[in-house]
Structure 1
Amino acid sequence: MKSTLKTIGAAMLGGAIVLGSYITFVEQDEPQLPLVVESDNALPITTVNYTGSSIPMNNDFAQAAERTVHAVVHVKNLTMSKSKITLRDFYQGRSAQPQYAIGTGSGVIITPDGYIVTNNHVIDNSNELQVTLNNNRTYNATVVGTEPSSDIALIKIETDEDLPYVTFGDSDQAKIGEWVLAVGNPFNLTSTVTAGIVSAKGRDLNTRDNTQQSFIQTDAAVNPGNSGGALVNTRGELIGINTAIQSPTGSYAGYSFAVPSNNARKIIEDLMEYGFVQKGMLGISGSNLNTARARELGVDRSEGIYVGSVVEDSGAQEAGLREGDIIINIDGVRTRTFADLTGYIGSKNPGDVVRVKAVRGDRMRDFDIVITENTTMTIPSLEMDLRDLNSDEKRLFKVDNGVRIVDARGDLKPYSSQLSQFVITKINNVAVNSVSEVRQILNGVERNDMLYIEMKSPNGEIERLRLPAN
């Protein structure tokens, strides 16, 4: 194990930075995914009234495009990495040379003072960020915060003048078949607008790092460079952040996906207020219903979420939800699949209350459930998912403090199974008691400083990792 962990440290120190300017999802059989709604109106938002048609007269999208195009920016990411050296280079005394790469994408101005939402993969590993507005003015940008699991990032530019911005619409109210526009910078062609319809909602995809999320699917043409751009309705309101395409070629093939604006807005507000994203949970595990699953479970419904278990001390347990209940609706939003459920809960904060409608036996029941904190959090600077220890785990590892390693990402991904056998007890010789304390320690660490991580296994084995802070 020690040699393995030494290898992990070496891999992290010597690993090259990989720049991605867009994501392509390759179609797989039966794609499946998971979870995480709305705080104070810190950001401009428009409540959408859908009592009338959203289709403009003569399908004229000019007004919506005019409201949006000046608030969508071109993002350029300059990344530096060290070239690999050969054995001959080593013997001849040649050192690794810096290599520069440039990636591009899009972003959406959401406040007049220069806050911009984009995709995390557009700005990942950046050494320098530049933002070019529609009037060709260029500014340096700084990263405010990121949420890799949702592929959302918040950046900021400084300017003395108020900027054009896009207001948030309510993505929960977007309808399948509704006209939408995708605005971005595909192939470095700035200020490009394409039109399509909402093809599906609550679409779940198997992403490369196995995160789970609920996407809006559209047939508006989205290509490399559109990542981080705006998906707007015909009133010019932001209902999604364009994120991915599903294509065998890497270019548009009729399927593109956007993070719903309600989820993006919640993430952005958390990053502004806390510097990280608060994640809530309903407190259940379960499965989608279909005819075969319903027959297997002995229920007479083929649509909804079958509750397989309820998390101890969660809001679901406190409200009285039980194994065998079938969730069909949350706050009036139909929940046919787990992606519908997780997408809606993902826009909520711990402490929010949701009204859940569920079927128990032959009766319909309503439950007011408090969203509780999900203590499993992604720590981008460690490339790990960490969780607070419960009392049983403290006894198992014979510790009074620490956080459990749930999963590893990036360069650490190949070592995830080994790392999950440990708890982190100290970082830079400071004892950690919770994930929030880990964040506090990391907030005081400069980029590229070294992190000294002390870990313990159930058999008492102590291991140490030396990793660069990202």
Structure 2
Amino acid sequence: MKSKQFFAGLTLSALLGGGIAVGGYKLADSDAVSALQEQAQFPQVQYTSNMRSSNAIVPEGLNFLKASEVATPAVVHVMTEYDGGGAVSRGGMEMDPFLREFFGDGFGGMQQAPQGPSMGSGSGVIIASDGYIITNNHVIDNASKIEVVLNDKRRMSATLVGTDPTTDIALLKVDAEKLPTIRYGNSDDLQVGEWVLAVGNPMNLTSTVTAGIVSAKGRSIDILRSNNPNQRYSIESFIQTDAAVNPGNSGGALVNLNGDLIGINTAIASQTGSFSGYSFAVPSSIVSKVVDDLKKYGEVQRALLGAEIRDIDADFAKEKDIKTLNGVYLVNVSESGGADDAGLQPGDVITAIDGAPTHKSSHLLEQVARHRPGDKVKVSYMRDGKQRSAEVTLRNMNNSTELIKRSRAEAVTFDGARFEAVSKQEMNKLGITGGAKISDVEDSEFRDTGMKDGFIITRIDRQPVNEPADVAKHLKNIDSGVVYLEGVYPDGLKAYYPIGKE
């Protein structure tokens, strides 16, 4: 039976040791712990004698000098700052929950009491000489300030170009020229058993290089979905290595022996919060596409097959009388989606996308993630024991082939005041999803409210303000009475202001 909803696929959880955790970490104060430990509190365990030694013997003549020399100058230290805050009452009276929901913590003398900022640390990779830097989304998520420290010790302020939580990739930009870069390598050519290097800043130890081998490819560990249960379209097809990766390595480079970027280090499997044998990186095949989208469109162009999928194990194959274990089972097909229009049906087993084998769901999701809506892919599949193929036109989440380009909301002037869009970085800092920042208050109809320049309006009489145009939309039709403008100042102080017309 066809579903009217779209499915990105079922991600199968994997239990590796004690758990999976991300690798950025906080530096704030004495009781701060690494983000790894914050994500999952694991019991302490003893290292066993069969753990791979860091002094592993390498083949004669093999060295990592070239890769280290090429990669190290292009890996940066990403330093983040997070503003704290909590609502307190000047008079010690607790605020009515309804009033807090309606007016915010500024109501009745309530103020947002600023707390000291906390600090975080991670790594990043310069991929363009004019200052574009890749890191992990979880390294900079909700940061109020982002700085990078280059390998030559220069410190620069960074702006956030865009993020993709579904792959845990973020793109930063610094104002610089002629920076050292790492070129993309082909993660498809990477083989299990191949030597790789992880370059980053673990435990605040800058420019650290560790070596290991690729121990698996196409690994799904369900970390992105578990950290954000509302994330429907997470793409996990990690490169698994045994190169030592620790808190602070997140966003750093995984390179081959030529120094080519073949992955962005993202997570580790650990029972202690530190490296215990396995680490995971987003393959460059996904990273390069995500970064290209963020630079061109400001948004990731997510292509969907239009089907719900699952892996096949021996028991499921026996239950459904499937003749292969190397494929992905179509549980359901979205009505009028790409797969449906191409003639695919529930019960089909997809064995390849554009000739690349899809032995499990992560393989299929990785192949589709390389494309944009409107792209056509050749899908090889089995039905009734016979091999078939079909050309599928991929769609977006709205079941169309259109590309979505994010445009910055235009500033507007209303009643003499100017309203501008709020930057992504400021939204992260203040914990808001939109708003309109006011200026020229003294020369406007808003001067008698007590409002100051820089105030960000987030709601007008319960109506959300997502962009500057919403201010005029909500206020222009008010003939009489009083309405309340709710919002927040750049320092985190929440407030509301009444405005009315007689």
Give the superposition deviation at 1:375: 3.3
Residues 307-316 or 190-199, more deviating:
307-316
Task: Answer yes or no: is 1:202 the counterpart of 2:210.
Answer: no
SS in 1 for 2:166: helix
Deviation of 1:20 after TM superposition, in Å, equals: 9.4
1:5-404 equivalence runs, <5 A: 22-23=35-36, 58-83=61-86, 85=88, 96-159=113-176, 161-207=177-223, 208-210=227-229, 211=231, 212=234, 213-375=236-398
CA contact 1:427–1:454 (8 Å) conserved in 2: no
CA distance in 1, matches of 2:111, 2:489: 27
Q: Post-superposition shift, 1:89?
A: 6.0
Give the share of equivalent positions with the same residue, in percent: 44
Relative to structure 1, is the Cα distance of residues 261 and 285 closer, same or farther in structure 2, using a 3 angstrom cutoff?
same
Q: Secondary structure at the match of 1:336?
A: coil
Alpha carbons of structure 1 residues 447 and 173: separation in structure 2 relative to 1, 3 Å: farther
SS class of match (1:345): helix
| Structure 1 pair 352–62 and aligned structure 2 pair: CA distance change class (3 A) | same
Show the counterpart of 1:450. Answer: 458
Partner of 1:401: none
* Shift, 1:87, TM fit: 9.6
Aligned-residue CA RMSD (Å): 3.7
- Matched to 2:259, the amino acid is G
Q: Secondary structure at the match of 2:61?
A: helix
Secondary structure of the residue that 1:162 maps to in structure 2? coil
Asked if the contact 1:22–1:243 (Cα under 8 Å) also holds between the matched residues in 2, the reply is no
Residues 443-469 of structure 1, C-alpha deviation per residue, up to 9 Å, x if partnerless? Answer: xxx9965156769xxxxxxxxx98879
Deviations 1:335-366 (A, max 9, x none): 11111111221121111221211112232112
- Alignment-mate amino acid for residue 64 of structure 1: A
Structure 2 counterpart SS, 1:82: strand
Deviations 1:36-75 (A, max 9, x none): xxxxxxxxxxxxxxxxxxx997221110111100000001
SS in 2 for 1:169: coil
SS across alignment from 1:196: strand
Change (3 A) 1:90 1:181: farther
Q: Determine if contact 1:22/1:244 at 8 Å carries over to the other structure.
A: no
The worse-fitting range, judged by mean Cα deviation, of 185-194 and 213-222 is 213-222
CA contact (8 A) 1:26 1:247 kept: no
Large movers: runs of 4+ above 3 Å: 18-28, 83-95, 446-449, 451-455, 465-470
- Larger-gyration structure (1/2): 2
* Contact 2:307 2:339 survives alignment (8 Å): yes
Number of equivalenced pairs: 358
Extract unaligned runs of 5+ from structure 1. Answer: 1-17, 29-54, 382-410, 413-425, 429-445, 456-464
| d(CA) in 2 for partners of 1:262, 1:216 | 11
Structure 1 residues 182-204: Cα deviation after superposition (integer angstroms, max 9, x where no partner): 00000111110001111111111
- Structure-1 separation of matches of 2:263 and 2:297: 23
Structure 1 letter corresponding to 2:458: M
Any idea what SS the aligned residue of 1:109 has? strand
Take 2:273 and 2:487, find their aligned partners in 1: how far apart are those partners? 33
Give me the whole-angstrom Cα distance separating, in 2, the residues matched to 1:448 and 1:174. 49
SS in 1 for 2:218: strand
Distance 1:314 1:74 in 2: 43
Q: Is 2:213–2:242's contact at 8 Å kept on the other side of the alignment?
A: yes
Q: Distance in 1 between matches of 2:266 and 2:149?
A: 20
- Using the alignment, how far apart are the partners of 1:99 and 1:451 within structure 2? 27
CA contact (8 A) 2:160 2:172 kept: yes
The answer on whether the counterparts of 1:21 and 1:122 sit within 8 Å (CA) in structure 2 is no
- Structure 2, gaps ≥5 residues long: 1-27, 43-57, 95-108, 407-429, 437-453, 465-484, 491-502
Letter of the 2:207 counterpart: S
Deviation at 1:101, TM superposition (A): 0.7
Does the Cα contact within 8 Å between 2:34 and 2:273 map onto a contact in 1?
no
TM-score (norm 1): 0.68
Task: Please say if residues 322 and 385 of structure 2, whose CA atoms lie closer than 8 Å, have aligned partners that are also in contact.
Answer: no
Task: Please give the alpha-carbon distance, in whole angstroms, between the structure 2 residues aligned to 1:469 and 1:181.
Answer: 45
Aligned partners of 2:455 and 2:487 also within 8 Å: no
C-alpha displacement of 1:240: 0.9
The two structures have a TM-score, normalised by structure 2, of 0.64
Cα 1:121–1:89, aligned 2, differ >3 Å: closer, same or farther?
farther
- How big is each residue's C-alpha offset from its partner over 1:229-248, in whole Å with a ceiling of 9 and x where there is no partner? 00111111111111111111
Letter in 2 for 1:70: P
What is the alpha-carbon distance in structure 2 between the residues aligned to residue 363 and residue 250 of structure 1? 48
SS of match in other structure, 1:265: helix
